[in-house]
């Protein structure tokens, strides 16, 4: 630890912390324009300069590490004049269009121009012709750009798309797509978020509202288990239509990152009025039904209501993907000795060595992809991706890709366990299991050579020579639904218990972890099933009684249990005037609560939840200045199982036409589909090799004959894909979508071209 002073205040810094980082943590203001805490110092704005006693000239606080006993001054007349001159240079020929600029009212340039009292201009430069660029959903105005480089750095160092760069040319410099003239990226919109001026804006939001007219509602993203913190920004559309509308989504970009689904996929509310007749029919249906099938796109509180319905009314609860995840967690606990996995997104970012098995994280959980990018860019970490299909979006950060055969996940984990454990650990587990491990067979059948495992271990040893032992094993949905999931979970628990690796088990859907912890889920349903679908509706059609609308997740108060095992709140962005699940529970005599959030404090404490009211959920602040919503679940110890792990089973064969259920990254971005035909929402996407084997052409409408029935899709060829496994999006399907989620993600199918009747 290092002691020094800032403006006469004694402060303490960790070795390597910069003056600016310490000042921010201590609440001491140093102005910046280009600084962004989640990327490396950019050093372009020069506003963050400070004076250090005994040092001639100014010092850049964003890049200068603190040293013992220095005396730093953040404000003086000389510093003020310097910063004022910088602002004058920024304002040279900057168009005075604040009245129509979408950034007006929240513009850093506007704010600092006023802060440093730039009311006249002493500099001039010949203006340049800078036409506005339209990159599908993003608009770039070079005349407003101050070249702070935030957008370039966040795209490269956090998102991993590396899609934009600076075209240098003095006063003519500008931001351009690397694949100019088109922008080839995942359209996360993070460049829009970090832009301090109106240079990068959402073309959909342009000219629709002033920033100060919008009401900001803090919430959690409903699209994946990261449940990222965001703000829905709303206002009334018009006098004729007084219903509020979501105009855009924003995030605390300084510390957190949103994907395109979170930022642009906000239009999913469910408008409804109370229909007493429909409600009456629903109650009758509930009296007849014996099973409720639901997805994990619900809050913890709704999950608890469903559990109370089960306990008091005897309903069976079906949620195939959450049940698979629940069973995996239970078996993992038997060998790890803990109810929950330890790793979180912050652990991934700070890890030096990571192994990813069984997840297509670019679409499964973009927050994991971003954490991997940060880890590689900041830590120079080794990232091993093991999967039958190479994830093109991970290529820039993955240091080794290991392709294994479909179905051979158990062999992969078995070989990793054998390689990672020392002899003492193997003795404790059972020497016989390792002696009977036929590495030659597993290697041959899984296509993971013994030299591949040896290389992974060598990379691990090499990394440990220079870094601390921060290793993380990330496991995905492919393992939870595998026919051998029970043994896979036990192998994962042993890796957690006997090695330096912390394990992350990515929850497959928004609140899969919450549902798995709160609900006693059943393997099979009864004769009469009510379906609670992803939109938030009870589908009663199986009983012939019609449907009952329910609020979507942007219309609810409640909590999610996210990938970091945190209980995080979400709030109502849009009104809902129909019935909610708690109304049904009250009518059935199961609830005595007026509001759903009254269940927040009753979430099961034996599963790590705390008896805290929704309105009292804490915000936890950390030394790096970040704020974490809600609270973290308590990870409890469990008794270790006395049963031995099972031998690795004979590996299955997946020959013929094989599909992998994997949603497209741009599934929630219809504005990109015209330019990115490869990313049609939920299409069937395959490689050239697959198209030849399946005798398909790009654009064909096909019929997929699967065990879930016939599925009609458009086929697209993605030249970046390799191999004979095609990607199938399923979230646009109906009730059969839910049954799919509890099954292994790979399936052998027959595909035929569709013939119009």
CATH number at residue 128: 3.30.70.20
Residue 545 has pLDDT above 70, yes or no: no
621 Cβ contact partners less than 8 Å away, ≥ 6 residues apart? 627, 628
Confidence of residue 466 (pLDDT cuts 50, 70, 90): low
Which comes out higher in pLDDT, residue 656 or 79? Answer: 79
Residue 59 forms part of a structural domain = yes
Burial (CB count within 10 angstroms: exposed 0-12, middle 13-18, buried 19+), residue 710? exposed
**Relative orientation angle of helices 320-336 and 485-498, to the nearest 10 degrees:** 40
CB 215 within 8 A of CB 233: yes
| pLDDT tens digits, one per residue of 595-651 | 999 999 999 999 999 999 999 998 765 545 455 789 999 999 999 988 889 999 999
Specify if 645 maps to a domain.
Answer: no
CA distance linking residue 374 with residue 366, whole number of Å:
12
User: What does the pLDDT read at residue 268?
Assistant: 85
By residue range, what is the domain housing residue 713?
Answer: 658-753
530 plus 616 within the same structural domain: yes
Crossing angle of helices 439-446 and 450-466, in 10° steps, is: 100
Cα separations in angstroms, 526 against 122, 327, 547, 734:
80, 21, 19, 20
Task: Answer yes or no: are the C-beta atoms of 541 and 612 closer than 8 Å.
Answer: no
Residue 113 placed within a domain: no
Pairing of strands 353-357, 471-475: parallel
Q: What is the DSSP letter of 214?
A: P
Are 49 and 23 in contact, with CB atoms under 8 Å apart? no
- One domain, residues 453 and 586: no
Alpha-carbon distances of 254 from 102, 348, 564, 619, rounded to whole Å? 20, 18, 19, 17
- Residues paired with residue 712 on neighbouring β-strands, in sequence order: 703
Task: Please report the sign of the dihedral spanned by the C-alpha atoms of residue 610, residue 613, residue 614, residue 616.
Answer: negative
Q: How far is Cα 687 from Cα 396, in angstroms, rounded to an integer?
A: 20
The answer on 146 and 236 residing in a single domain is yes
At 165, is the secondary structure helix, strand, or coil? strand
**Domain final position from 505, 539, 559:** 505
How many other C-beta atoms are found inside a 10 Å radius of the C-beta of residue 593?
15
Residue 219 has pLDDT above 70, yes or no: yes
Model confidence pLDDT, tens digit, residues 151-182: 999 999 999 999 999 999 888 899 999 988 88
State percent of the chain over pLDDT 70.
93
Distance between CA 437 and CA 418 in Å, rounded? 9
The answer to whether residue 185 is domain-embedded is yes
On the question of pLDDT at 357 being above 60, the answer is yes
Q: Do 154 and 36 meet the contact criterion of CB atoms below 8 Å apart?
A: yes
Structure tokens belonging to residue 175: 């931001």
Helices 409-420 & 450-466 angle (0-180, nearest 10): 50
Find the CATH number of the domain harbouring 428. Answer: 3.40.228.10
pLDDT of residue 465: 61
Mean pLDDT of 75-81: 96
Calculate mean pLDDT across residues 213-221: 95
The DSSP secondary structure of 623-692, one letter per residue, reads TTS-EEESEEPP--B-PPP-SPPPPPPPPP---SSEEEE---TTTT-GGGTTT-GGG-TT-EEE-HHHHH
Establish if 95 belongs to a structural domain.
Answer: no
Q: Is the Cβ–Cβ distance between 354 and 472 less than 8 Å?
A: yes
Average pLDDT for residues 328-347, to the nearest whole number?
A: 96
Flag whether 115 is in a domain: no
Q: Are residues 367 and 446 in the same domain?
A: yes
pLDDT digits (tens, 9 = 90+) for 731-755: 777 656 667 888 999 999 999 998 8
Is the model's pLDDT at 41 over the cut of 60?
Answer: yes
Average pLDDT of the residues of the chain: 90
The CA distance from 78 to 355, in Å, is: 51
Closest by Cα among 506, 555, 569, 612 to 229: 569
| Statement to judge: residues 460 and 538 lie in one domain | no
pLDDT band at 527 (very low <50, low <70, confident <90, very high): confident
pLDDT of residue 671: 42
Same domain (yes/no): 713, 694:
yes
**Number of domains within the chain:** 5
Neighbours of 540 (CB within 10 A): 23
Residue 702 host element (H or E): strand 701-706
Do 330 and 479 sit in the same domain of this protein? yes
Mean pLDDT throughout 723-731?
88
Looking at the fold, whether 146 and 197 belong to one and the same domain comes out as yes
Beta strands across the sheet bearing 229-236: 215-220, 229-236, 244-250
544-568 as b/e, with b when 16 or more CB fall inside 10 Å?
ebebbbbbbbbbbbbbbbbbbbbbb
Around Cβ 413, how many Cβ atoms within 10 Å? 27
What pLDDT sits at residue 537? 61
111, part of any domain: no
C-alpha 513/C-alpha 563 separation (Å) is 8
Nearest by Cα to 383 from 580, 534, 370? 370
Judgement on whether residues 49 and 76 belong to the same structural domain of the protein:
yes
Phi, psi of 513 (to 5 degrees): -65, -45
Predicted confidence (pLDDT) at residue 672 exceeds the cutoff of 50: no
- pLDDT tens per residue across span 425-439: 999 999 999 999 999
| Residue 254 CB partners (closer than 8 Å, separation 6+) | 36, 37, 38
Q: Which of 597, 632, 667 is the last residue of a domain?
A: 632
Question: Do the Cβ atoms of 651 and 730 come closer than 8 Å?
Answer: no
What is the C-alpha separation between 489 and 470, in angstroms, rounded?
22
Domain closes at, from 71, 90, 109? 90
- Let me know whether 16 and 75 are in one domain: yes
CATH value at residue 77: 3.10.20.740
| pLDDT at res. 754 | 87
Percentage with pLDDT > 90 across the chain: 74
Rounded mean pLDDT, 429-457: 95
741 vs 113, higher pLDDT: 113
Please name the residue that has the structure tokens 């342009």.
206
One domain, residues 398 and 488: yes
Note the pLDDT of residue 125: 85
Task: For residue 448, give the nearest of 491, 502, 384 by alpha carbon.
Answer: 384
Q: Are strands 138-140 and 200-202 parallel, antiparallel or unpaired?
A: antiparallel
> What are 351's two structure tokens?
């890890």
Across the range 43-60, mean pLDDT stands at 94
Is residue 248 domain-shared with residue 284, that is, in the same domain?
no
**How many angstroms separate the CA atoms of 452 and 532, rounded?**
45
Identify the band that residue 541 occupies on the pLDDT scale cut at 50, 70 and 90.
Answer: low
Residue 638 resides in a domain: no
Taking alpha carbons only, the member of 172, 304, 331 closest to residue 590 is 304
């Amino acid at each position: 630890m290092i002691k020094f002073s800032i403006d006469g205040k004694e402060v303490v810094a960790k070795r390597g912390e910069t003056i600016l980082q310490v000042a921010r943590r201590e609440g001491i203001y140093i102005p910046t324009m280009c600084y962004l805490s989640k990327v490396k110092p950019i050093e372009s704005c020069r506003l963050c300069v400070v004076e250090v006693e005994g040092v001639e000239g100014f010092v850049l606080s964003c890049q200068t590490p603190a040293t013992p006993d220095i005396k730093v001054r953040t404000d003086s007349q000389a510093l003020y004049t310097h910063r004022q001159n910088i602002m004058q240079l920024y304002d040279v020929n900057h168009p005075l269009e604040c009245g129509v600029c979408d950034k007006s009212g929240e513009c850093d340039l506007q704010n600092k121009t006023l802060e440093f009292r730039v009311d006249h201009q002493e500099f001039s430069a010949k203006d340049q012709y800078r036409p506005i660029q339209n990159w599908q959903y993003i608009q770039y105005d070079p005349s407003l750009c101050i070249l702070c480089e935030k957008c370039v750095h966040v795209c490269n160092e956090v998102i991993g798309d590396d899609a934009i760069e600076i075209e240098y040319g003095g006063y003519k410099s500008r931001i351009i797509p690397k694949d100019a003239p088109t922008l080839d990226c995942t359209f996360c919109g993070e460049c829009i978020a970090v832009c301090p001026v109106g240079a990068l804006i959402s073309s959909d939001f342009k000219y629709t509202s002033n920033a100060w007219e919008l009401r900001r509602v803090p919430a959690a993203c409903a699209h994946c288990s990261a449940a990222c913190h965001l703000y829905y920004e709303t206002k009334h559309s018009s006098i004729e239509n007084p219903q509020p509308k979501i105009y855009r989504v924003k995030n605390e970009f300084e510390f957190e990152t949103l994907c395109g689904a979170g930022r642009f996929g906000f239009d999913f509310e469910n408008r409804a009025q109370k229909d007493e007749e429909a409600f009456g029919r629903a109650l009758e249906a509930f009296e007849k039904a014996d099973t409720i099938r639901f997805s994990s796109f619900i809050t913890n509180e709704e999950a608890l209501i469903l559990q109370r319905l089960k306990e008091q009314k005897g309903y069976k609860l079906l949620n195939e993907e959450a049940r698979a995840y629940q069973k995996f967690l239970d078996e993992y606990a038997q060998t790890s000795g803990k109810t929950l996995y330890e790793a979180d997104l912050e652990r991934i970012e700070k890890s030096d060595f990571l192994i990813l098995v069984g997840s297509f994280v670019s679409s499964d959980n973009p927050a994991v992809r971003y954490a991997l990018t940060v880890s590689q860019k900041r830590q120079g970490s080794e990232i091993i991706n093991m999967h039958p299909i190479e994830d093109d979006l991970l290529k820039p950060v993955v240091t080794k890709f290991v392709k294994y055969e479909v179905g051979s996940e158990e062999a992969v984990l078995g070989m990793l366990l054998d390689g990672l454990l020392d002899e003492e650990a193997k003795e404790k587990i059972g020497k016989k299991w390792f002696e009977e491990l036929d590495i030659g067979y597993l290697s041959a059948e899984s296509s993971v050579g013994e030299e591949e495992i040896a290389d992974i271990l060598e990379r691990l040893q090499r990394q440990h020579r220079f870094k601390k032992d921060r290793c993380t094993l990330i496991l995905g949905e492919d393992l939870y639904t595998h026919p051998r999931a029970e043994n896979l979970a036990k192998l994962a628990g042993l890796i957690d218990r006997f090695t330096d690796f912390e394990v992350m088990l990515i929850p497959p859907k928004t609140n899969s972890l919450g549902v798995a912890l709160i609900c006693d889920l059943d393997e099979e349903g009864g004769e009469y099933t009510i379906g609670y679908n992803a939109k938030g509706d009870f589908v009663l059609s199986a009983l012939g009684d019609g449907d009952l609308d329910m609020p979507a997740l942007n219309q609810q108060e409640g909590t999610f249990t996210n990938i970091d095992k945190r209980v995080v709140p979400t709030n109502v962005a849009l009104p809902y005037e129909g019935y909610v699940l708690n109304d049904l529970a009250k009518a059935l005599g199961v609830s005595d609560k007026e509001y759903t959030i009254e269940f927040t404090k009753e979430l099961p404490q034996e599963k790590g939840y705390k008896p805290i009211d929704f309105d009292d959920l804490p915000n936890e602040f950390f030394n790096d200045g970040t704020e974490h919503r809600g609270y973290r679940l308590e990870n409890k110890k469990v008794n270790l199982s006395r049963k031995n792990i099972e031998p690795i089973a004979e590996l299955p064969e997946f020959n013929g036409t094989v599909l992998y259920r994997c949603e497209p990254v741009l599934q929630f971005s219809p504005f990109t589909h015209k330019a990115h035909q490869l990313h049609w929402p939920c299409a069937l996407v395959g490689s050239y090799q697959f198209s030849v084997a399946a005798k398909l052409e790009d654009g064909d409408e096909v019929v997929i004959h699967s065990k879930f029935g016939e599925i009609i899709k458009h086929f697209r060829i993605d030249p970046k894909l390799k191999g004979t496994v095609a990607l199938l999006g399923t979230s646009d399907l109906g009730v059969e979508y839910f049954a799919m989620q509890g099954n292994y993600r790979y399936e052998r199918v027959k595909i035929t071209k569709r013939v119009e009747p």
